[in-house]
Structure 1
Amino acid sequence: MLLPPLDHRLSPFTGLTREHWCAYADHLLRSAHQFGTDDHANIHLPGANSRYGPRSDSLEAFARTFLLASFRMAGDPLNTGWIAEWYAAGLDAGTNPANPDRWPTPGELGQAKVEAASLAVGLALTRDVLWDKLPERVQEQLIAWFETVIGEEYPPINWVWFQIVVETFLASVGGRYSDEDIDAGLAIHDSLYRGGGWFADGPERAYDHYVGWAFQVYPQLWALMAPHDPRVAARKTLDGDRLADFLDDAAFLVGANGAPLIQGRSLIYRFAAAAPFWVGELSGHTRLSPGVARRAASGMLDYFARHGSITDDGLLSIGWHGEFAGMKQAYSGAGSPYWAAKGMLGLALPADHRVWTAVEAPLPVEVADTQRLIAAPGWQVDGTRADGVVRIRNHATDHAVAGAVVADSPLYARIGYSTHTFPDLTAESVDNGVAFVDSAGRLTHRTGFEYLGSYSEGGVQVGASRFTAHWIEPDPDAGPDHGSGVAGVATPGPSVTVVSVTRGAVELRLVRVSGASDSSSGGALRIGGWPVDAASSVVGSVLPVPGFGVALDSSGTFARPGAHPMGSELTIPWVGTSGTAHDGDYAAVVVLAGDGGASADAGVTFVAGDGDGLGDGRFVFPDGASVDLSRLWGARLGG
């Protein structure tokens, strides 16, 4: 594809302007259209099907590329007639009852409920240039197709918005709709709110990018669709404040490399993570400067474009950088990655909008080292300006409920995630873990842990959790992968409390083990570090803290050969015990540093106190910051 010259005057960090975004969007659309049927109703992209089959997947590819097309048309109606013409034909053929290749309706297929929302939003945004110009027959077909959502059941997660926006569109074009459906969806949405701009995607502790690209984006699009609906007016301040609060945190979760935090399900949607930054500008509910918003969004697009997310055929593959089949979830088909279209929402804003005319401004991690506690997901964020890496340590997110006894979800339950490392996708792993290994080599899990709280003091951040370590024999019939840990037969191990004390690239990880002698299966302790590609410029290390607690007398590096989403070989350092772990306190220093950042040999020193009481002494970080041991096991973290 041909791109305009980079403009480092307007965009000093990425060089990307609106013209670049348009070029990428048009390239993606034209490339996908090559796989469309003659009537344009279905786009049969190459690759594996989802569990719902090819009829669902071809509709998905049409609907999600249409969402991107609608942003292009809304922001530049005079120069996108070719897009409107292509999709108008498909909208007709896809909803024509006489067409043997018509789309399954939302009343016939659950996944069609998702795709209906993209069609409804897109048609609402382009009403004057597309919907109003469709023949009455086609409008009636579409209304009848959309009306099959009325009264349907939707899972009590982000899916409720798919029903809300479809029925809101129906109301705007004279179709049937149900106020009861809309009100019930809004009530579920509010029930999932956890404060500070954050939503859980269901009753579990499921915090991920759906907070931004679903729970924050849809309320604002809905408001645009129904500006005169009294419910919109009544919620304007509430939903706007929630969005602004979320964006305050979201800006701290983007690395200087442009990558969003690599955590949570559906990561194949890639730069969809840019959507909340755009919707803040679209709605006016943001405290970020427009230069920061575009820096975050353009950084993401640039990151993925540079790392091969767009294939030689101009398609978005299932993967993170390039194609990686191991990231496919049960609901993933070849069209699924095109939910990345949400990240191009900024194209709905005209060229003279402030977000396009402002000069790019630096992200928080590009200004200074950052520290931030995000309460709902239990994340402590540490960004380092020297290497641009953003890290979180996680003590309240596992895509489960407290007390659950299942396997760890690799994308939710690890102690750490970053913008520069991809989690080990195997459930049993030392990746940012505290686990026990039995004689058969099986590792324990921590999902269902108790969050003990977090706080910041004296230049360090502290977070903690407690759990009963458990081995899991997975149930082979556990069902499709939707992000949760796999169920199975559990064998309990010792009780563990983990405290993460962080300052920049350095984490002091304290581990208290109890009941080791009482557990049905003994095991050696493993404290694992960051999953780093062997060829990466970032480095990770795990070192014991001399002079404190029970000795960690064993160490090594786990290697998982073969391709992973960011490279060809994953390596994870660890320290632990050479034999069965005993009750007591252990301490390790876990480091992740990039070019120009902290040394991988950075250590934390333990200085014993003058007394001999429990909790006497302090830990000193490489730059001199310190924390008293007595503060780390006290009531402030739940005891």
Structure 2
Amino acid sequence: MKMIFKITLIVAFGLGLNQAEAQLKKNVTGQQDRAFWVKTLNRIAYPVVHNLANETLKKNMPLEKGPKYGLNLTKVTYLEALGRTMAGLAPWLALPDDDTAEGKLRKTMRSELLKGLANSVNPTSPDYMNYRTESQPIVDAAYVAHAFIRAPKALWEPLDGVTKKRFIEEFKALRSRTGAYNNWLLFSGLTEGFLLSIDEAYDPARVMFSINKMKEWYVGDSWYSDGAKFSMDYYNSYVIHPMLVDLLKVLVEKKKASQADYDLAVQRMVRHSEFLERMISPEGTYPAFGRSITYRMGAFQALAQTALMEKLPEHVKPAQVRCGLTAVMHNMFDGNQNFDDKGWLVLGFNGHQPEIADYYTSTGSLYLTSLGFLNLGMPADHKFWTDEPAPWTGLKAWTGEPVKKDYKVDY
């Protein structure tokens, strides 16, 4: 009988590997994993999407911020919540409707998000969002645009003409400001790339500057420097690889960039996905280092997107990615430590830990965790969900199983 690994919460600090392995050798199917992912993503996204659909987001969303917060909170946090939530939801919402319980939930979520999107750019709505002042909207408009790029038929095309026109105007209004000289360049580039994708006038300078600087800031072995100096954090996954790859895809489709540039960006993201998969410990945890660790599962966006694109390296099987990410999700979301009593995310990494929030982190920022759920865009009959459970690299390495030797790459 084949050994099947159960992904479960390991609660004892310092639990021995023999005990950990024993807990993992129980039957859990990929369909059970998927049901858990759906339940968890819905738990995260529902307060944002449902309240925005009912024009009560500003009324009901808590305004928590770190002790050194330095932005204009009410001008930025609501767009953060929307953009980051929908960028993670987009691949799942792009799946066709069906009569399953998941399908009905997905249809409701999509319907409410479309209603909320119209409210978010309606100047007469109490939930009208700010694109016109502050620098932070440059960031979160890009996540809105990224969702439209990821799911155009589900999230962009169904919008009415007035709402589409309003989004276009809001995106173009961002050109009056600049942001940080680092990964922020991709935010402007991606928003302009979306405008190009729908055949609107776009700013080619912003697009090409962002791409050229990323090329210049590549330091090797899949790592980009975040600006002139390298930062050891998860921004290569939060932002750089996924946005660069998807921006180049738009440009290739519009014959504004070479296929070789796109292929190289994908190749580098694939390599980066190897690092992320190896960062998952045998117990289903990962290192809490660098800026913005309050973004939780967003740290794995590049791994999730690589799997979604079916570009995983041959030695990294879809099932081991599913099982590794599921283990992390159980550790983060089985309990209530990351939610308040009304279901909103709280400041922290795995619990209420406001002291680790950055000067730009507020309640809306936290919804970047949705980006770790991109693989729900694979249908339930995809091998990512149907293959038998498999141990991820960290678990294999610490339990004496064969593991592929890792070494740097030169591209």
TM-score by length of 2: 0.81
Matched, 1:132 2:154: no
Letter in 1 for 2:377: A
1:205–1:125 distance in 2 versus 1, CA, 3 Å: closer
Partner of 1:243: 269
Task: Classify the secondary structure of the residue corresponding to 1:355.
Answer: helix
Partner of 1:270: 296
**Following the alignment from structure 1 to structure 2, what is the Cα–Cα distance between the partners of residues 54 and 44?**
13
Partner of 1:52: 72
Partner of 2:344: 315
**Following the alignment from structure 1 to structure 2, what is the Cα–Cα distance between the partners of residues 68 and 246?**
19
Q: Which runs of 5+ in 1 are unaligned?
A: 377-639
Task: Classify the secondary structure of the residue corresponding to 2:359.
Answer: coil
Q: How does 1:340-351 map to 2 (within 5 A)?
A: 340-351=369-380
Task: Classify the secondary structure of the residue corresponding to 2:348.
Answer: coil
Partner of 1:197: 222
Partner of 1:469: none
Matched, 1:39 2:55: yes
Q: How does 1:204-603 map to 2 (within 5 A)?
A: 204-223=229-248, 225=250, 228-230=253-255, 231=257, 233-287=259-313, 288-306=316-334, 308-369=337-398
TM-superposed CA distance for 1:157, in Å, is 1.5
Matched, 1:74 2:94: yes
Higher helix share: 2
TM-superposed CA distance for 1:275, in Å, is 1.4
**Following the alignment from structure 2 to structure 1, what is the Cα–Cα distance between the partners of residues 296 and 94?**
23
Query: Which of the numbers 39, 42, 53 marks the counterpart of 1:26?
Result: 42
How many residues end up aligned between the 2 structures? 369
**Following the alignment from structure 1 to structure 2, what is the Cα–Cα distance between the partners of residues 129 and 72?**
10
Range 174-183 or range 32-41, more displaced:
32-41
**Following the alignment from structure 1 to structure 2, what is the Cα–Cα distance between the partners of residues 97 and 33?**
18
Q: 1:503-529, CA deviations, whole angstroms, 9 ceiling, x for partnerless residues? A: xxxxxxxxxxxxxxxxxxxxxxxxxxx
Matched, 1:183 2:197: no
Query: Which of the numbers 129, 133, 138 marks the counterpart of 1:103?
Result: 129
Letter in 2 for 1:109: E
Query: Which of the numbers 13, 17, 24 marks the counterpart of 2:33?
Result: 17
Partner of 2:11: none
Partner of 1:432: none
Q: 1:26-53, CA deviations, whole angstroms, 9 ceiling, x for partnerless residues? A: 2222234565484366575224245221
**Following the alignment from structure 1 to structure 2, what is the Cα–Cα distance between the partners of residues 159 and 119?**
15
Q: 1:275-317, CA deviations, whole angstroms, 9 ceiling, x for partnerless residues? A: 1221112223321211222122212211211353244433221
Letter in 2 for 1:45: M
**Following the alignment from structure 2 to structure 1, what is the Cα–Cα distance between the partners of residues 327 and 319?**
12
TM-superposed CA distance for 1:368, in Å, is 2.6
Letter in 1 for 2:120: G
**Following the alignment from structure 1 to structure 2, what is the Cα–Cα distance between the partners of residues 372 and 366?**
15
Matched, 1:122 2:147: yes
Task: Classify the secondary structure of the residue corresponding to 1:194.
Answer: strand
Q: 1:513-552, CA deviations, whole angstroms, 9 ceiling, x for partnerless residues? A: xxxxxxxxxxxxxxxxxxxxxxxxxxxxxxxxxxxxxxxx
1:60–1:84 distance in 2 versus 1, CA, 3 Å: same
**Following the alignment from structure 2 to structure 1, what is the Cα–Cα distance between the partners of residues 174 and 405?**
41
Task: Classify the secondary structure of the residue corresponding to 1:129.
Answer: helix
Range 276-285 or range 185-194, more displaced:
276-285
Asked if the contact 2:52–2:116 (Cα under 8 Å) also holds between the matched residues in 1, the reply is: no
1:86–1:335 distance in 2 versus 1, CA, 3 Å: same
Partner of 1:63: 83
1:101–1:253 distance in 2 versus 1, CA, 3 Å: closer
TM-superposed CA distance for 1:183, in Å, is 0.5
Letter in 2 for 1:238: L
**Following the alignment from structure 1 to structure 2, what is the Cα–Cα distance between the partners of residues 233 and 221?**
13
Asked if the contact 1:52–1:111 (Cα under 8 Å) also holds between the matched residues in 2, the reply is: no
TM-score by length of 1: 0.53
Asked if the contact 1:68–1:342 (Cα under 8 Å) also holds between the matched residues in 2, the reply is: yes
Partner of 2:185: 160
Q: Which has the higher contact order (CA 8 A, sep 6+)?
A: 2
Partner of 2:15: none
Asked if the contact 1:43–1:61 (Cα under 8 Å) also holds between the matched residues in 2, the reply is: no
Higher strand share: 1
Structure showing greater radius of gyration is 1
Asked if the contact 2:249–2:262 (Cα under 8 Å) also holds between the matched residues in 1, the reply is: no
**Following the alignment from structure 1 to structure 2, what is the Cα–Cα distance between the partners of residues 43 and 244?**
42
Q: CA RMSD in A?
A: 2.9
Asked if the contact 1:42–1:94 (Cα under 8 Å) also holds between the matched residues in 2, the reply is: no
Asked if the contact 2:272–2:303 (Cα under 8 Å) also holds between the matched residues in 1, the reply is: no
Task: Classify the secondary structure of the residue corresponding to 1:17.
Answer: helix
**Following the alignment from structure 2 to structure 1, what is the Cα–Cα distance between the partners of residues 366 and 350?**
12
Asked if the contact 2:305–2:374 (Cα under 8 Å) also holds between the matched residues in 1, the reply is: yes
Range 23-32 or range 109-118, more displaced:
23-32
**Following the alignment from structure 1 to structure 2, what is the Cα–Cα distance between the partners of residues 234 and 173?**
23
Q: 1:441-466, CA deviations, whole angstroms, 9 ceiling, x for partnerless residues? A: xxxxxxxxxxxxxxxxxxxxxxxxxx
